[in-house]
Amino acid sequence: MKKDVAVLGAGMTLFRRRLKETGKELSYLAAKQAMEEAGIQKDEIDMVVMGTAPDAFDGIHMKGENLLDGAAGANKPYVRVFNGGGTGVFAPIAGWWHVASGVADVCLVVCEEKMGSCYPHPQTAFRHIWDPILDRPLNPNLVWLFAMEMNRYMTVHNIKKEDIARIAVKNKRNAVGHPCAQLADPNITVDDVLNSEVMAWPVQRLDISPPSDGAAAIVYCSKDVVGKYTDDPIYVGGVGWNIDSTMWTNRDLYFPRYVALAAKMCYKMAGIHNPTKDIDFAEPYDPFDYKEAHHTEGLLLCKKGEAPLLTKEGVTARDGDLPICPSGGLLGVGNPIAATMGQKVCELYWQLAGKAGKRQIPGDPRVGVGQAWGDIMQMATVIALRRG
Amino acid sequence: MYEACNKAYVDAGIDPRKDVGSFITCAEDYWEGFSIFDEFVPDQIGALLRPCCTVCGDGLYGLGTAYMQIMTEVFDVVAVEAHSKVSDLLTYGDIVLHAFDPVYEKPVSGPVERPWYGGSPEYSEQDPKPLIGATDEKQRVHPYFLAGLEMQHYLKTTGTTEEQCASVVVKNKKNAYANPYADYELNIDVEDVMKSEYLFKPVKKYDIAPNVDGAICFVLADDKTAKDLGIEPIYLEGFGWCSETPWLSTRGFDALYAKKAARMAYKMAGITSPKKELDVIEVDDRFSYKELQHIEALGLAKPGEAGFMAENGDLEIKGELPTNPSGGSLGVGNSLEATGLQKALEIVTQLRGHAGKRQVPEVEKGLAQAWRGIPSGSGAVAVFGR
Amino acid sequence: MRMAEKKYEGYPKEAPGTHLRTSDIREKKVSYTWWEPEVQYAWSVGHAMSEFLKGLKQGKILGIHCKRCKRVITPPRSFCEYCYGPTDEWIELPDTGIIETYSISYLDPNANRIEEPILIGVIDIDGADEHHGFMHYFGEMSKDEIKIGMKVKAVWKPENEREGAITDIKYFKPLRGGE
Amino acid sequence: MTFGEKQTDPTAPTHWRGNMQADYLYPNGAAGDKFFQHLKNNDSFLACTCKKCNKTFCPPRLYCEDCFEEIPDNAWKEVSTTGTVRLFTIANLDAHGEKLENPKVMALIDIENTDGAILGTIDLVDLNKDYSGLKVRAVLRPLGQREGTIKDIIHWELV
């Protein structure tokens, strides 16, 4: 790439089912926090990138336009990018190309989601993500989609439900140290997950991350000016993104090949030749517990079908060999679609900078990978951050 | 979309499945009717299992994004697509209204309950729905009222007349005759426009660009790749984009977004006196006054001057500053997020000398400008050169 | 006026935001604005889907062939997403297939809890390429019987009730020996 | 023509009806809630001033959009419900493209002693009148019937 991109600061708001603040105000609270950590003012920001997922949640058409003043975008070049659930990592990728191309020196990335506006339940808006001709007449519920993918994954690899439930337990316990967390629970057990209400088998209530309101933000700058702000910068090592066919019923769902392709693109850019060795910790997207396993495999961090075993053996614990979702992930902290940048990218930064407080992973992590996944099980976005 | 993209790939002589590094679509969910439109993009633009994304902005934002992606030196070739399928929308007005601020603006337009199809859903006693003091309003005002407000402001502050705006309509609809892609060519005179009814005074029926369907695809490449492909390339020399505050409450209504975007684009393209250096321009004209307002914002005329230029024929194809030779949105139609690409396409066609009857003689540099439409205060500018 | 006064150890230093409970809304402790947008569409279905729906009305499942990739695709489309060329030949497929994956749902479409579960899944249609099919309901089988790889057959609505929609098939039933 | 064939059967389905309907409940926001709770019980508006930019927002904000500084509680004040018409238009169409039964005067009203403006309708419709610069006053719902939304302003009347 042309110019190295450094992360200067990050911020995020509380994640809850419904927050009092408007989308603009949430964006402001997250952006301001990131700017304070980075030590910059609004007039130092050259450009702003907004990442926010479906308009149908906030209930505002062209909601990027509506949110822009809260993201410090007033009277600035401002653009919104979007690819469903993948936005949480895609917006920071877009921010990366603003700086890496040399067009901007300092770029603010804000992600916001307000799922609570959709009344009575965001499920109403999720209904409109399906194909209108083939799927919507069957009145599908979003959970079905993931239940079907989970079932395929479990059946092909012959994985036990309890091995997957362990992931939910790990993440909800990890989230205990996170001030924004919605569903942290220090005492949760595998039995709690297995005995929770069956929504759409094999998906049970505690396998799912909750819909939330929230926002997150990060500040980037180019290597040329980084000396002005910090002596110990964290850099973006590589980025990758990839999309599969709209026709989700035309492919085998047991392995996310698009995640693997995005990961390869990212690793190539970051000079990661041996992912299992070179990567110190990861934040794969975990809206459902099986998704963490699915994506760990997609990120080439283990062999196909082996990810649940890693958790069983304690490898993915915060003090394990390969900590996964040390933030608590979506399962523990909450799932405000795009604003999950807070767990998937901000967390990488805080961990690498040694600022994660109670959630800090031991040792001396140098490379972390974050990933998000979106659209109708077809989009993968991957980012790698490194220290020094 | 497939047709437009295929044409672009054939024109560039490339195979999208092998040669294109990254794909960009410019779209908004509510224009399409899907909660996550990005899902429905990859197959038809050839992006299966490739880097592909959606930029929620006008097509020119897509070009800017492609430019940045190429400048990172990660990609050689990037495809940008934008489209409009506005004819699928049964409730266009209400969808545009849905973009207004929910707390301070939307409810002013009329009843908060669903006005047309099938009434409101039933909610239980506990639910918050039954608000006290419901109103007896039945209709919501069409969101284009905002153009009425802004045109009023433009006419007052610059002294431009409604007749001058009408001459823009006449010119653009006439230019559209020479454009095979245009849908709204019309042979009318200023008097016809002036006699058309006031819809949002002072905006008249003919002042508004009617909606149209279409898809446009651009292929951008770095210099070396383009030369290897053996094409005489048109260069994207500069671009800029900017957003104003979304609050009507504090907005200035003088196209500040276009001024700032132009400044950025001129700087990048090394343009110091735009009036002399630009040979042909395409500016956003979804309302007739917008063309004049944007010409002034781009620094090509002083405030109040553009109206006289329109009246004197300076903006015609053979005039001093040929503006919207394609027919603009008034002549071609308002193609939502594809508007910017339609304008960029015209500039590229002009620079290549392929514009046929509407060709502007001796063009070296051209500019395309787009606005994101009501109610936004965002827009982008791109400068092209041979 | 910022909500969070509390400072945390490590980052994020604070977690700003004010949690609203459903009761805060019901009891009108907080002010809010209600809005019901009117968002209606009539999407053009395109050529391939139009033929497919016409086929369903006639009680047929149609597929389409891509000669470059040697692939039979259903639901059909006008172009092949793998080679980006146009697809060529229409093929009538049998209305049988195997269960690619399924779910047993205790949620109805509006996220209400239900007693009798809905069986839903993806059917890999016979005659089309591997893993090519669509989503549909299953019937005439119990939740204990259903499994991946099971052979199933479409149960159609009577001809006069069919309207050219995916719901012209009522559900897929197990294809037992002899049928 | 890019495709090998096109639909020529006029009886084949060409369009599919559907919607993206959902209902929305927007919390008025941290600043908005304060503004509307005040309006519920008083016949005045609240405004707030950014000390750095010396700009007074009405409707009030949590932060200043120009300098991005937070606006503290002590920078809030009460202002009267009067203002002048900055911009106006006479709207004749409803959102469905049909004629409005009664044309509406939509106006952006600069609130007195602030730099902000509120969108509203003016009760008197005179097709030939130039409303700009005229003084107007908000007509509010009676106390006790206010619900804490912008609908509490019924319309604006000329003073």
- A12 lies within 8 A of chain C by CB: yes
What phi and psi values does residue B130 have, to the nearest 5 degrees? Answer: -65, 100
* Measured distance between the N- and C-terminal CA atoms of chain D, rounded to whole angstroms: 64
Contact list, D70 vs chain C (CB under 8 Å): 1-2
Q: How far off is chain A from B362, nearest CA to CA, in Å?
A: 31
Report B:111-130 residues touching D (Cβ under 8 A).
112, 114-116, 120-121, 128-129
* Nearest residue, CB atoms, A356 vs list C11, C19, C135: C11
Residue type, C30: V
Predicted pLDDT at A118: 86
In chain A, the residue whose alpha carbon lies closest to the alpha carbon of C44 is A133
Do residue B250 and residue D65 have CB atoms under 8 angstroms apart? Answer: yes
Q: Tell me the pLDDT of chain D averaged across its residues.
A: 91
* Nearest residue, CB atoms, C18 vs list A20, A179, A356: A20
Do residue C34 and residue B85 have CB atoms under 8 angstroms apart? Answer: no
Q: How confident is the model at residue B2 (pLDDT cuts 50, 70, 90)?
A: confident
Contact list, D29 vs chain A (CB under 8 Å): 20-22, 24-25
* Nearest residue, CB atoms, C53 vs list D13, D26, D30: D13
* Nearest residue, CB atoms, A134 vs list C2, C75, C132: C75
Q: How confident is the model at residue B132 (pLDDT cuts 50, 70, 90)?
A: very low
Do residue B148 and residue D3 have CB atoms under 8 angstroms apart? Answer: no
- D134 lies within 8 A of chain A by CB: no
* Calpha distance A6→A233 (Å, rounded): 6
Do residue B49 and residue A74 have CB atoms under 8 angstroms apart? Answer: no
Do residue D62 and residue A128 have CB atoms under 8 angstroms apart? Answer: no
* Calpha distance D88→D109 (Å, rounded): 9
The interface predicted TM-score of the complex, written ipTM, equals 0.93
Q: Measure Cα distances from D52 to A30, A265, B321, D57, D60 in Å.
A: 21, 46, 43, 13, 16
* Nearest residue, CB atoms, B104 vs list D101, D115, D150: D150
* Calpha distance A375→A87 (Å, rounded): 9
Q: Measure Cα distances from A250 to A378, B365, C130 in Å.
A: 12, 47, 8
Q: How confident is the model at residue C44 (pLDDT cuts 50, 70, 90)?
A: confident
DSSP annotation string for B62-123: HHHHHHHHHHTTS-SEEEEEEEE-GGGBS-HHHHHHTTS-TTTTGGGGS-SS--SSS-PPP-
Predicted pLDDT at B124: 55
Q: For the whole model, what pTM was predicted?
A: 0.94
Predicted pLDDT at B40: 84
- Locate the DSSP E strands across C67-145: 71-73, 90-93, 96-107, 113-125, 133-137
What phi and psi values does residue A196 have, to the nearest 5 degrees? Answer: -75, 165
Q: How far off is chain A from C76, nearest CA to CA, in Å?
A: 10
Do residue B197 and residue D92 have CB atoms under 8 angstroms apart? Answer: yes
- A60 lies within 8 A of chain C by CB: no
* Calpha distance A377→A153 (Å, rounded): 13
Joined tokens for residue A289: 């517990």
* Nearest residue, CB atoms, B54 vs list A65, A83, A262: A83
Predicted pLDDT at D2: 42
Crossing angle of helices B288-297 and B162-175, rounded to 10° = 100
Residue type, B344: A
Q: How confident is the model at residue C2 (pLDDT cuts 50, 70, 90)?
A: very low
Do residue A119 and residue D25 have CB atoms under 8 angstroms apart? Answer: yes
In chain C, the residue whose alpha carbon lies closest to the alpha carbon of D8 is C47
* Calpha distance A353→A8 (Å, rounded): 10
Q: How confident is the model at residue C3 (pLDDT cuts 50, 70, 90)?
A: very low
* Nearest residue, CB atoms, C41 vs list D4, D12, D19: D19
Do residue A134 and residue C134 have CB atoms under 8 angstroms apart? Answer: yes
- The whole-number average pLDDT for the span B54-81 is 93
pLDDT digits (tens, 9 = 90+) for A304-346: 999 999 999 999 999 999 999 999 999 999 999 999 999 999 9
Fold of the domain spanning A5-120+210-387: Peroxisomal Thiolase; Chain A, domain 1 (3.40.47)
Count contacts between A and C (CB, < 8 Å): 185
Do residue A117 and residue D32 have CB atoms under 8 angstroms apart? Answer: no
Contact list, C121 vs chain A (CB under 8 Å): 148
The domain segmentation of chain A, as residue ranges, is 5-120+210-387
* Calpha distance A45→A48 (Å, rounded): 7
Predicted pLDDT at A376: 86
pLDDT digits (tens, 9 = 90+) for A174-211: 999 999 999 999 999 999 999 999 999 899 999 999 88
Do residue B120 and residue C83 have CB atoms under 8 angstroms apart? Answer: no
Do residue B33 and residue C43 have CB atoms under 8 angstroms apart? Answer: yes
Please tell me which residue, B324 or B2, carries the higher pLDDT value.
Answer: B324
Contact list, B33 vs chain A (CB under 8 Å): 128, 132
Question: What residues contact B124, with CB distance under 8 A and at least 6 apart?
Answer: none
Do residue A53 and residue B103 have CB atoms under 8 angstroms apart? Answer: no
pLDDT digits (tens, 9 = 90+) for A21-80: 999 999 999 999 999 999 999 999 999 999 998 899 999 999 999 999 999 999 999 999
- Please say whether the beta carbons of C145 and C172 come within 8 A: no
* Nearest residue, CB atoms, C17 vs list A10, A21, A127: A21
Do residue B243 and residue A68 have CB atoms under 8 angstroms apart? Answer: yes
Predicted pLDDT at B236: 94
Chains that touch D (3 or more CB pairs under 8 A): A, B, C
Tell me: pLDDT of D4 over 80: no
Q: How confident is the model at residue B4 (pLDDT cuts 50, 70, 90)?
A: confident
User: What is the maximum alpha-carbon separation in chain C?
Assistant: 75
Predicted pLDDT at B130: 42
- B3 lies within 8 A of chain D by CB: yes
- D19 lies within 8 A of chain B by CB: yes
pLDDT digits (tens, 9 = 90+) for A99-143: 999 999 999 999 999 998 888 788 888 888 888 899 999 988 889
In chain D, the residue whose alpha carbon lies closest to the alpha carbon of B96 is D95
Q: Tell me the pLDDT of chain B averaged across its residues.
A: 90
Do residue B33 and residue C78 have CB atoms under 8 angstroms apart? Answer: no
Contact list, D92 vs chain B (CB under 8 Å): 197-201
Q: How far off is chain C from D139, nearest CA to CA, in Å?
A: 19
* Nearest residue, CB atoms, A141 vs list C102, C111, C143: C111
- Please say whether the beta carbons of B51 and B22 come within 8 A: yes
Of the ranges A324-328, B207-211, B226-230, B343-347, which one carries the lowest mean pLDDT score?
A: B226-230
Predicted pLDDT at B263: 96
- Please say whether the beta carbons of A151 and A202 come within 8 A: yes
Do residue D95 and residue B30 have CB atoms under 8 angstroms apart? Answer: no
- The whole-number average pLDDT for the span B82-90 is 90
Tell me: pLDDT of D62 over 50: yes
Percent of chain B with pLDDT over 90: 73
- C31 lies within 8 A of chain B by CB: no
Predicted pLDDT at B126: 54
pLDDT digits (tens, 9 = 90+) for D80-108: 999 999 999 999 999 988 899 889 999 99
* Nearest residue, CB atoms, D32 vs list B103, B128, B139: B103
- C41 lies within 8 A of chain B by CB: yes
Predicted pLDDT at B354: 92
pLDDT digits (tens, 9 = 90+) for B189-214: 999 999 999 999 899 999 999 999 98
- Locate the DSSP E strands across D6-116: 15-19, 23-27, 45-50, 55-57, 76-79, 82-93, 99-111
Question: What residues contact A37, with CB distance under 8 A and at least 6 apart?
Answer: A8, A9, A10, A11, A219, C11, C13
Q: Find out whether the peptide bond into A275 is cis, omega within 30 degrees of 0.
A: no
Contact list, C27 vs chain B (CB under 8 Å): none
Q: How far off is chain A from D125, nearest CA to CA, in Å?
A: 30
- Please say whether the beta carbons of A70 and A26 come within 8 A: yes
Predicted pLDDT at D19: 86
Q: How far off is chain C from A249, nearest CA to CA, in Å?
A: 5
Do residue B53 and residue A241 have CB atoms under 8 angstroms apart? Answer: yes
Predicted pLDDT at B127: 56
* Nearest residue, CB atoms, B152 vs list D19, D88, D116: D88
What phi and psi values does residue B187 have, to the nearest 5 degrees? Answer: -105, 95
- D97 lies within 8 A of chain B by CB: yes
What phi and psi values does residue B89 have, to the nearest 5 degrees? Answer: -85, 120
Q: Find out whether the peptide bond into B107 is cis, omega within 30 degrees of 0.
A: no
Spacing of C-alpha B41 from chain mean position? 21
Tell me: pLDDT of B60 over 50: yes
**Backbone dihedral region for residue B163 (phi beyond 0: left; psi -120 to 50: alpha; all else: beta):** alpha
- The whole-number average pLDDT for the span B361-378 is 93
pLDDT digits (tens, 9 = 90+) for A238-283: 999 999 998 899 989 999 999 999 999 999 999 999 999 999 999 9
Predicted pLDDT at B34: 85
Q: Find out whether the peptide bond into A365 is cis, omega within 30 degrees of 0.
A: no
Predicted pLDDT at D18: 87
How many CB atoms are located within 10 Å of the residue A317 CB? 18
Do residue B36 and residue A374 have CB atoms under 8 angstroms apart? Answer: yes
* Calpha distance A182→A178 (Å, rounded): 9
Contact list, D30 vs chain B (CB under 8 Å): none
- Go through the domains of chain B in sequence order and give each one's CATH number: 2-87+144-385 (3.40.47.10)
* Measured distance between the N- and C-terminal CA atoms of chain B, rounded to whole angstroms: 27
Which SS3 state, helix, strand or coil, does residue C147 take? coil
pLDDT digits (tens, 9 = 90+) for A363-383: 889 999 999 998 888 999 999
Residue type, B142: H
pLDDT digits (tens, 9 = 90+) for D13-58: 888 888 888 889 899 999 999 999 999 999 999 999 999 999 999 9
Tell me: pLDDT of B120 over 70: no
Contact list, C37 vs chain A (CB under 8 Å): 59
